[in-house]
Amino acid sequence: MHSHSHDLEAITAEIAAEMAQAADRGRVADYIPALGSISPAHFGMAIVLADGSIHVAGDAEVPFSIQSISKVFSLTMALGSVGDAIWQRVGREPSGSAFNSIIVCDMLLGRYEPREAIGDLLRFVRALADDSDIVIDEHVARGEAETGFRNFALANYMAAFGNIHHPVERTLGLYFHQCAIAMSCRQLALSGRYLMAGGRNPVTGRSVVSPQRARRINALMLTCGHYDGSGEFAFRVGLPGKSGVGGGILAIAPGVASIAVWSPGLNERGNSQLGTLALERLVQKTGWSIFDPA
């Protein structure tokens, strides 16, 4: 992976200009009105380098619903509280269904009341980004709860097999709220710094997770981070990444950069159409793919 410096200002501006011109922007998720009403014209990108410098382009300061990207943070928190026992209940193989994340929420409830658990997750994300303005979009959370029939079905199904240990409504309440965290590309890229830096916050030097756990989270992001499009993403982009149906993607170039992109239009696999393309362009221009020889 090349670490020599590139003119990232020029590269991000160039990518944003190309994305602004793109005709095929994918389809915005519309299973809840709060997501369906967002314009597919948006595109934002933020890159935080290991030296702390930040490069942004487009709508990098506009908050959006991070949805499944929140699973990276709840998994990190659960590893902190449960440790590697988590792998006895959560699989490591990619699957078309994203229900393992509900189990992670259930594990967090082992330590907290639902309101405390979401409060702690929000505090954790704010601390990672060093930004106390990050909030939960209650409008989105309500919409999730009103339409989450499949999640209720899956959670009840898992409860029947003994893999949900708390009342399903409480576990899902936490899950819907974590998905409704709203962040901008800048905030999201800052939050991912510990995964770029071997589990440490590079600014404070404080450890968030051990280097081994950071590596494992990155490995899971690479193999499972994009639903059924994970192989395609590894093929085209070659970075650990986690997408959400709000159109965001957090991608990590280990040792080099934490990158967040956002464009609400999704491809047929439920990942940001232009976000994926932008990351592909970025890697082509920088050589940051983990599969590129240094």
Question: Would you name the residues annotated as active-site residues?
Answer: 68, 71, 175, 227, 245
Helix residue ranges per DSSP H, 83-238? 100-109, 114-129, 138-147, 149-160, 168-179, 185-191, 193-196, 211-224, 230-236
Both tokens assigned to 207: 């450890």
How far is Cα 148 from Cα 135, in angstroms, rounded to an integer?
21
Check: CB of residue 35 under 8 Å from CB of residue 140. yes
Q: Nearest Cα to 229, choosing from 259, 246, 249, 253?
A: 249
Check: CB of residue 62 under 8 Å from CB of residue 184. yes
How far is Cα 243 from Cα 263, in angstroms, rounded to an integer?
11
Distance separating the N- and C-terminal Cα atoms of the chain: 4
- Between helix 70-82 and helix 114-129 the angle, nearest 10°, is 110
Give 7-59 as a 3 state SS string: CHHHHHHHHHHHHHHCCCCCEECCCCHHHHCCCCCCCEEEEEECCCCEEEEEC
